[in-house]
Amino acid sequence: MDITDSPVTAARWSGDVLAVGVFAEDAPLLDRPWPRDLDAALGGALQRLLSYDSFDGGRDELVVGPGVPGRCDRLVLFGLGRPGEATGHTVRRAGAAVARTLTTGPNQRVAVALPSWRAGELDVTEHLAEGLSLAVHCGRWNVLEDRFRADYGSDLPREPKTVELLGSGVAGTVLRASEAFTDAVVRAREYVAAPANVITPDRLAAEASALAAHEGFEVEVWDAVEAQEQGLTGFAAAVAGSADPARLVRLSYRPEASDLPPVAVIGLGLTHDDRGVARSGGAVEGAKKHMAGAGAVLGAAAALAALGGRRETHLILPAAAKAEGPGALRTGDLVTTASGATVEVNHEDGHGRLMLADALHLAGRLGARSTVSVSALGLPVAAALGPKAAGLWSTDEALAAQLTGAGRMAGELLWPLPLVEEYGDELWAPFANIRVAGPHSGDGATAAAFLHRFAPPSWAHLEITEPAWSPRIDGYYNAGATGFGTGTLARWLCGR
């Protein structure tokens, strides 16, 4: 789907589908100047459409009806809510609602018209374009070349060939940014949704290496033996017995001119979790979504490759396929990490925490001033936050504020959770420096306390297990992998 700006007005445009967006106001729709003038130009089509259903421009409102002979086959009227309450998230949902009406027929040319492409301080264009694009990524594989269905595409909704944003007047940079952010999320969705025998640690390394072809990037990939030789002994112990050979990937971006201190982003990639299906009540996503951190970071790396950034950035992917193979980590084992601290493994799912501990140490070794780690460890934060928000722990209020602001722009809710110093006492071990887990009742808080033990001074961690997967179509999220976290990281790294 090609989204472009067009100088043509809605009153003069002709094509297959015209989608008209309006904001909610106190005055009736056709008493307002712009809809009234457009209705006159369309021969009363809006008035006829309103006779089918009530509509006042509220959020998530949408009415579809016949078009105007010789002008368009269908007319769509959709609401954006009150201008002062519009956010990137609500506008993106409106774009998705429009897109889902378009993918049911053989539409070729589509146009979207608004009375204004701004809502207060918000530029509507970028977010509407993202909603349109993300909604039509349904059952398709735009990034991965693998095909998982013999009848690929035969029964999938059709997407329009072009969508013209009438009179948006945006610079090309806005639509390029929208496309880059959308492509980043789609990339993350596909990595997480793909089966574990396709997205292996080695395949993740190959995808990172392909991104390294862009200017300013370099990549280094270590197997478990090489990681051990580099001192990452905690990682090496955690990935022993991996069903597929483990990889530690470092993808670095160095702009020509950098006026900001370097940062690091870590994405945990458990490409398969042998206990995940059982923990999720038999759902196959339980074996997949624990690599959502790596998917989000690789997606953000793609946005950074497309748009560039002002900071030296190190993207670190510790990846393994967790399984009970020969030599695998056992409960009761003692592991020495890269920092020199010893860890008693008192939890059968301690692998990811050990992998992150060494990745955090590596980030400090690379000179990162601020470090963000992202994982889907299955920590029990959903009881407090629900399925649509990610937990955020941070040692740096300014960094936390930057991430939550980027999350708001991306439509991703990050909710700060406390780093309680006393919870570190729950990790005390008589024969090691620290245990990998505390009591089950406080597993999320004590997991954060464990990672804090290895983190650099300016650090934030995102726990995205629940929002990384949606059980149903929900706005611009399709059923399945959502790509959650990608938009936040991409905007933060690209400075947008």
- Give per-residue pLDDT as tens, 28-40: 888 889 999 999 9
The answer to the question of residue 480 being in a domain is yes
Residue 133 has pLDDT above 90, yes or no: yes
Residue 217 β-bridge partners: 253
148 — pLDDT class (breaks 50, 70, 90): low
Let me know if residue 274 belongs to a domain: yes
When pLDDT is cut at 50, 70 and 90, the band that residue 342 belongs to is: very high
175 located within any domain: no
Q: Is the same domain home to 265 and 354?
A: yes
Same domain, yes or no: 347 and 201: yes
Summarize pLDDT for 302-335 with one digit per residue, the tens: 999 999 999 999 999 999 998 887 888 999 999 9
Can you tell me which residue has the tokens 């690789």?
Answer: 298
Same-domain pairing of 133 and 210: no
- Cα dihedral: 300, 301, 305, 309 (round 10): 70
> Does residue 228 lie within any of the structural domains?
yes
What's the pLDDT score for residue 449?
94
Number of domains the chain contains: 2
Same domain, yes or no: 258 and 368? yes
Pair 114, 209 in one domain? no
| Residue 292 confidence (pLDDT) above 70 | yes
The model carries a pTM of 0.94
CA dihedral of residues 167, 168, 170, 175 (deg, nearest 10): -120
Residue 281 has pLDDT above 90, yes or no: no
pLDDT at residue 144, rounded to an integer: 83
Does residue 400 sit in the same domain as residue 434? yes
Average pLDDT along the chain: 90
CATH code of the domain in which 117 resides: 3.40.220.10
- On whether residue 133 sits in a domain, the answer given is yes
Distance of CA 54 to the CA centre of its chain: 35
Q: Is residue 235 a part of any domain in this protein? A: yes
DSSP string computed for 171-221: -HHHHHHHHHHHHHHHHHHHHHHS-TTTS-HHHHHHHHHHHTTSTTEEEEE
If one compares 288 and 368, the residue with the highest pLDDT of the two is 368
Neighbours of 283 (CB within 10 A): 15
What percent of the chain stands above pLDDT 70?
A: 93
Question: Do residue 331 and residue 477 come from a single domain?
Answer: yes
pLDDT tens by residue, 468-494 = 999 898 999 988 999 999 999 999 999
CATH of the domain at 424: 3.40.630.10
Structural domain contains residue 363:
yes
pLDDT digits (tens, 9 = 90+) for 265-279: 999 999 998 776 656
Q: Same structural domain for residues 152 and 233?
A: no
Give the structural domain span for 59: 2-170
User: In three state form, how does the secondary structure of 108-153 look?
Assistant: CEEEEECCCCEECCEEHHHHHHHHHHHHHCCCCCCCCCCCCCCCCC
Looking at the structure, do residues 83 and 220 belong to the same domain, yes or no?
Answer: no
pLDDT for residue 171: 67
Do the beta carbons of residue 128 and residue 97 sit within 8 Å? no
Both ends of the chain: CA-CA distance in Å? 24
pLDDT computed for residue 369 by the predictor: 96
Specify whether the CB–CB gap between 19 and 76 falls below 8 A: yes
User: pLDDT tens digits for 374-423?
Assistant: 999 888 888 889 899 999 999 999 999 999 999 999 999 999 999 988 88
CA-based nearest residue to 86, from 128, 129, 28, 56 = 128
Pairwise pLDDT comparison (334 vs 103), residue with the higher score: 334
Q: Are 160 and 193 in the same domain?
A: no
Same domain, 149 and 288: no
Phi, psi for residue 306 in degrees, rounded to 5: -80, -40
* Distance from C-alpha of 284 to C-alpha of 268, rounded to nearest angstrom: 19
- Does residue 231 share a domain with residue 133? no
- 3-state class of 462 per DSSP? strand
Residue in this structure with the two tokens 């038999």, named with its chain if needed: 282
- Cβ(194)–Cβ(146) under 8 Å? yes
Give the alpha-carbon dihedral of 76, 156, 485, 174, to 10 degrees.
-50
Which ranges in 240-311 belong to alpha helices (H)? 276-279, 292-307
Establish if 20 belongs to a structural domain: yes
Last residue of a domain, one of 170, 200, 215: 170
The residues near 96 (Cβ < 8 Å, ≥ 6 apart) are 131, 132, 134, 135, 475, 476
